[in-house]
Copies of this chain bind each other. A is one copy, B any other.
């Protein structure tokens, strides 16, 4: 697949044909190069400032566009016009604390700080708006004004160019368990860094974690932790295994026999363990736990399970028989339910640790459906319900266990490379970043959700799709 991406992005012919060349996205654990600007709307708000403090980021104050701050510019032909105030140089990000927005008039302050910032945002820059979960905002006008932030942020995501992204983080401040800076730090760090390269137009919810032991964001958050990844033999699964290994994890890479060769290669490359098994076997959960207990000791427990293995058996529903239907639901949904049930047994040696993480790979098809993929859509939608229900389970919350999903859009895998060229080219341009994502983008989102510091995010789905236009 890499070659195709390369052809489309660097082939001189593509340029001559006028194909817009997508920006090479900033990736990895890199902050933007320019300064981070902090703004507020609706009132002072301290949550975001405190969170930036925790992350060691010293922000610039935002410029505000008003008639009084505007400056007169004269063009070559001597015509004058009023333009917003300018930052002295490119900025890396604007983080807007809009949690105090309660009226429609307050939204003017959102416009007034975004306008100058968007003019000065660097390539792969970031717009992060922090608002309230609207339904907790109180009076209908406050709910409406908070909900308006979604329309604004998603529009900004569609207006940005050169790899810049815009996302909205919803927090709870007016509830019994308000979000703290410690809760928010991991998500804000993810959104500012290159790890979130292919996440835009998203709405992320950060609640509050009762888990006082949750650490601050770290560069190698999985140091010494055991992480199990299914379907790890190739594509996105291999990238997931590699990303966790980069971040310090001891990875148990699981795949079926057919994926065997790729599996051992991946495991060798990252110094992890290859475990060959069929996830639909009834004893898979106990075999995984048994492997962990055997290799890492009776006291060892799993920190994260990533359910990445999945299959497709595409057919129109009118042509789908019971076998084809059942096989997809079995692999993509039922097997996970069965494995989770086993690994969540607290007494099981090698099971999931308290403070552990379950992350599953859903799909935008689970949200929007897709012609020819009824069984796949059913399974991937089912996963969204599953994580929401498990995320709401107080028994898991008590143990500090979170359960989340990612929903990848168009990702440049080997599988995607088999889609006919024109369809593929159209498909990968139909998002705000005007390019396909890479497997590592999905892996980074999963690693973020699995991060010990991401303790206040559960029951959520994080789309990794560059603000795909093909939606629900």
A 240-254 to B, binary, CB cutoff 8 A, 1 in contact else 0: 000000000000000
How far is A67 from B385 in the complex, measured between Cα atoms in Å?
A: 30
Using A104-B334, A144-B333, A386-B143 as known contacts, say yes or no to A374 and B155 having CB atoms under 8 A apart. yes
Q: 1/0 per position for A102-142, CB-CB distance to B under 8 A?
A: 00100110111011001100000000000000110101110
Interface readout for A341-368 with B: 1 if CB under 8 Å, 0 if not?
Answer: 0000000000000000000000001111
Q: How many copies does the complex hold?
A: 2
Is A322 part of the contact surface with B, judged by Cβ < 8 Å?
yes
Contact B472 A470 (CB under 8 A): no
Bound Cα distance from A154 to B468, whole angstroms? 17
**Taking the complex as formed, is A280 at the interface, i.e. its CB lies under 8 A from any CB of chain B?**
no
* Chain B residues near A146 (CB-CB < 8 A): 385
A372 to B158, CA, bound (A): 9
Contact of A389 (CB < 8 Å), options: B143, B159, B374: B143
A330 — which chain B residues lie within 8 A by C-beta?
Answer: 104
The number of chain A residues touching the other chain, given as a range, is 35 or more
Q: Which residues 363-386 in A have Cβ within 8 Å of B in the complex?
A: 365-386
B154 A317 Cβ-Cβ under 8 A = no
A141 contacts which of B316, B337, B377 (Cβ < 8 Å)?
B337
> Does A19 interact with chain B (Cβ within 8 Å)?
no
A43 within 8 A of B: no
| Alpha-carbon distance A288/B145, docked complex (angstroms) | 26
Q: How far is the CB of A226 from chain B (nearest CB, A)?
A: 24
Task: Indicate if A258 sits at the interface (CB-CB under 8 A).
Answer: no
Identify which of residues 457-472 in chain A touch chain B, using a CB-to-CB cut-off of 8 Å: 468-472
Pick the residue among B119, B152, B366 that contacts A377 (CB under 8 A). B152
Contacts of A376 in B (CB 8 A): 151
